[in-house]
Structures are given as C-alpha cells and as structure tokens.
Chain A
Amino acid sequence: MNYKQPLELNGLLLQLDLFLRGNLPPFWASLIEGLLILIAVLAAYAVIALILIYAERKVTAFFQARLGPNRVGKYGFIQSIADMIKILIKEIIHINRVDRFLFYAAPFFVICASVMAFGAIPFGQGLQAVDFNIGIVYVLAVSSLGIIGVLLAGWSSNNKYSMIGAMRSGAQFISYELSAAFALMTIVVMTGTMQLSEIVENQRYAWNIFNGHIPAIVAFVIYLISGHAETNRAPFDLPEAEGELTAGYHTEYSGMQFGFYYLAEYLNMFIIAAIATTVFLGGWMPIQIKGMDAFNQIMWYIPSYVWFIGKTAVLVFISLWVRWSFPRLRIDLLLNLEWKYLLPINLVNILIMVLIVLAGWTLTDLFPILFGN
C-alpha cells in the first residue's frame, strides 16, 4: 500500500542527487554530496543543541516553580542563541603546566564521537547519512570513544578535581556501556537485524517495545537508565558533582572548549533518546493500524521527521524529568546498581527474549493478522 506523503524530503534529495550526478564527474559529485551531508549534520547538531539547551532551561524552571529565561525574545526564545554568541567570543584561558597537546585535543574526542554517532541516526524516511549493515554496533562503537576525551581532559588539566571527575566518569561510563549494549542486543535478537533502517521498517504495525512485550519493556527501561548514566547527567552526575568537584573533568576549560563538552552532553542526551526511539518506539514510522487505510493515510500526512522528533522529544522530556526528580547517587551505589542489578537482569532478559522468539510468542508471531508486516 502506497500512501501519499506530501511533506517528505526524500524526493527532493533524490532530485538533488540526480542533478549532481548528471552534471559532474562521479568524484566531484560524491565529494560535494559528502560535504553537503557534513554541513547538514553539523548544522542539525548545533541547532538541536540550541533547542535542547533552551528546552532544558525552561523545563527545569517549571520544575522548580520559576519562569526560566524570559528576557531575550518572546518567552526567551533567543536566549540560547545569545548564549552561543557569548560563548563563541569568550577568551580561551591558557592554563599553565598542562600537557598542551592532550589538553587541546580532549574536547575534540568528545565532540567527534558524539557527531559520529549522531550521523548514523535515521531522522526520517531517506534522512540517514549512513545506513550500515551493523547500525547498532556502529553507534555503540563510536559513542564509546567519547570517554577517552573525558579521561584525557581530566588528566591533562593538571588539577585534582578534574582527575577525580575523570576517573569517576571512566568507571561509570565503562560500566553502563555494557548495560546499554545488552539492552539493544535484546532487541537485535528479536528483530534479527542490526541495520537501523530495517529495524524501523520492521516496526510498521507493532513497535518493538510492544512486539517483544515483557523483555522488550525491561530492556527499554534498562536502556534509558544506562543511557542516562552514560551522559553523566543527574542523578548520575558524579563526575561533575559541583558540591565536591567544582565542575569535574572540565573545570579548567573555558570558552568554546568548555562549549564543546556542553554541546556534547546535550547531544548525547538526544542521541540516547533518538536510538531508544529508533530501536524501541518505531523510529520515524508513523502510527499505523493494519487494514485501516484512511487512518494510516492521515498519519502519513504528518511527515516522518516530525514523528521522529516528537517521539524523541518525549524521551528527552523523561530524561529532564528524571534529572530534577532524583537526588545524586553515591559512587558505590552507582556501581552496585549496574554490576549487581542491571547487568544480571539484562543477561537473564536476553535469555527470556531468545526463548520468546524461539517459542513464537512475539506479538507479530501470535497475531499475524493484526501486526504482521
């Protein structure tokens, strides 16, 4: 069944591709396309960060019964743009007796890892920069590089606060990375593919979280917890616990170097939410009910990227909600949570998922008339 999709961008992109390939030799065409994609990804990265910073400040303010930014522009809309300009023109303070090369290289590790993971996210139909066969593993692989930047920043700053923050961050990240990966693998067991586009396509009538019912919901919750911990945000913000460590690993950074860490933190939050959306909540796929073509057509009129952003926004909101609802954990409690609870639960969960898939108890297997592709 082909539905009308008037607002999709893939037709436009196809035209652009054909135009470039028709008029240029293949080398220049791929080069220009690569550059265009790079610019688009970086622009989206910056814009999403600005929106997230504004949203976070506003939501935080409402949680704390304040108004939040409301002076620059209507409702403070332009506040984060003003902040961006401010941080861009700030002086970068040179610290004495740091390891210069590592000190200046560290923010780039963090930001590169984050941009690379960001590039693989399917934002909508045809709006995916690279669609690897190993999609999920790729995202896990490149996002694991960010921690090196944090460790280096902590060491090269020549500051005890930074060092302790970096060590805590390292321990935390390595631990929770395991849980995040296992939670995603649970879904890979169910869908039988790691390619993000195929995972989205498989969720046409039943989102994975419903399709795999109990183990999928457990995996979803574990993924959200461990993803939240990976981004170093409260209640898992020990690495930068301001009461004890001033600002943790980025204490000595100033100006745009600090800005990189700040950007990466927000974008990592977005990436976690986006991956969770793609893997568990159907990605950019509109809500569809098998057999009800009129309803489906109405749903398809809403473009896929709006669906994607909407679902992601809900998860981002949950992340902010958690941040302002729970107190900070102690480091031993934090590691206990991962190694004594989440990881064993996760391993058992994968086994349950394997049994469910083998027994044919997923929703698509049980009710092929309602949910089968």
Chain B
Amino acid sequence: MLEQIIFSILAIAIALFSVLAVTSKRIIRSAIYLLFVLLATAGLFLMLNYHFLFAVQVTVYAGGIMVLFIMAIFLTHKPGKIVERRTNLKIISSILLSGGGLILCGYIILRNVTRVYNYLKINEINMQDIGRAMMGTEKYQFLLPFEAISLLLLACIIGAIMIARKEKNIETNDNKDLDHK
C-alpha cells in the first residue's frame, strides 16, 4: 500500500518532468526538470532496495553531470533566453522518433520484466559483492578494466580543455598585440 503510493508519486513525477524537460522554453529550466527526473529515478532504485545504484544515480547524474550541465549552460548560453518553438515538421518527427523509442524499450522491458523482478526479489545486493565483481578475477568478475576505459575518457576531456585553453590564450595575445599597434 505505502509502496504503491510512493511508486505512483515517483512515476507521475518522472512522466511529468520528462515531458516538461523537453517542452520548457528556457534551457536552464529544462536542465532542472531533467534533474527532477533523475532524482525520481533514484527514488525508484531506493524502493527496489538497490541502494548502490541509488547512490550512484544521485552522485554521478544528479550531483555530477547535472552540475556540469548547469555550469556549462551558465558559461555558454544565455540561460534565461526563451527559445523559440521549432517548426511543426521537427516537432512531429521528434514525436515519431520518441514514440518509436518508447515502443522498442517497452517491448524489451515487457519481455524481460519477470526475469529482472525475480533477480531483484532475492535480496539487497551489498557493497562487498559489487566490490568483488569489480576487482575479482573469476568469471563474471573483473569489471575494473572496463571502468579504466572511462579514465581514458577523462584524460581525453582534460586534454581537450588544455588544447582549447591554449588556443584562447594565443588569441587574447594576438588581440593585445593588435591593441598595442
């Protein structure tokens, strides 16, 4: 009973805010609605007693990526600017695309839902098991190299920032030179 009430609240929140995130005319508000969607999803994980994924969802998506989104929006756009509506053709094509995505995902979820449910019913997955899956070297383990690939991504991002910054410095120097002349 209590679970169902909480689930319906979360489900309504997810549905409502995900629609708002794409229909909102201000980019910063879209970002905030997306944040609410991510938080409500984290709530679903919490309901399933899958605490690790809850924490990861909140740290990585809500606390990490969304903060970077918001900072990036601050730095690049005029965040409060009201974006004009797209043309009808674009709206219709994106509705069709998302509808297709919904059908595909819905089909996959429907087919696998019982399996996932049985797996989740067993117990809470505790941290030690996750740790072993990451660091162990047996079958279905040793996820660490997979994670190490994401370090490569981090290195790429830092490299990109360095390159971008250098170019900017040269530019400003050029400007200064011009000013002096």
Contacts and interface: CB of A to CB of B under 8 A. Distances in A.
Contacts of A141: 54-56, 58-59, 63
A134 to B, nearest CB: 5
A306 B80 CA distance: 50
A102 B28 CA distance: 9
A99 B74 CA distance: 14
A193 B127 CA distance: 8
Contacts of B59: 137, 140-141, 144
Interface stretch (B65-73, B106-114, B142-150, B164-172): B65-73
Contacts of A27: 1-2
Interface string A259-275: 00000000000000000
Given A134-B51, A134-B55, A145 B63 contact: yes
A148 B67 contact: yes
Given A167-B74, A194-B127, A137 B55 contact: yes
A138 B32 contact: no
Given A140-B59, A167-B74, A99 B67 contact: no
B129 to A, nearest CB: 10
Contacts of A193: 127-128
A138 B55 CA distance: 5
Interface string A1-42: 000000000000000000000000001001100000000000
A158 B63 CA distance: 23
B124 interface: yes
Interface in A115-147: 132-134, 137-138, 140-142, 144-145, 147
Given A133-B51, A134-B55, A170-B67, A145 B127 contact: no
B71 to A, nearest CB: 5
A155 B52 CA distance: 32
- Between A27, A31, A142, A163, the greatest number of chain B beta carbons within 10 A of the residue's beta carbon is seen for A142
B74 A30 contact: no
B28 to A, nearest CB: 7
B28 A167 contact: no
A170 B71 contact: yes
A133 B55 CA distance: 11
A102 B66 CA distance: 15
Nearest to A151: B70
Nearest to B53: A134
Kindly state the interface size class of chain B when it binds its partner.
20 to 34
B29 A101 contact: yes
B40 interface: no
B124 A133 contact: yes
A27 B3 CA distance: 10
Contact of A134 (B1, B71, B79, B127): B127
Nearest to A99: B80
Contacts of B56: 137, 141
A158 B80 CA distance: 10
A35 B26 CA distance: 37
B67 A174 contact: yes
B167 to A, nearest CB: 20
B26 A99 contact: yes
A162 to B, nearest CB: 12
Contacts of B39: 145
Nearest to B71: A170
A199 interface: no
B64 A144 contact: yes
Contacts of B35: 148
Given A137-B59, A147-B63, A193-B127, A102 B70 contact: no
Contact of A102 (B29, B124, B127): B29
Nearest to B73: A155
Contacts of A133: 51-52, 124, 126-127
B73 to A, nearest CB: 9
Given A133-B124, A167-B74, A145 B62 contact: yes
- Between B29, B32, B64, the greatest number of chain A beta carbons within 10 A of the residue's beta carbon is seen for B32
Interface of B: 1-2, 26, 28-29, 32, 35, 39, 51-52, 54-56, 58-59, 62-64, 66-68, 70-71, 74, 79-80, 124, 126-128
22 contacts: A27-B2, A30-B2, A99-B26, A99-B29, A102-B28, A102-B32, A134-B127, A137-B59, A138-B54, A140-B55, A141-B54, A141-B56, A141-B58, A144-B59, A144-B63, A148-B62, A148-B66, A148-B67, A151-B67, A152-B70, A170-B71, A193-B128
Given A101-B29, A152-B70, A194-B127, 12 more contacts: A99-B28, A102-B32, A132-B51, A134-B51, A134-B55, A140-B55, A145-B62, A147-B67, A148-B70, A152-B32, A177-B63, A192-B128
| 7 shortest interchain CB distances as A-B pairs | A144-B63, A141-B58, A141-B59, A137-B55, A141-B55, A134-B51, A133-B126
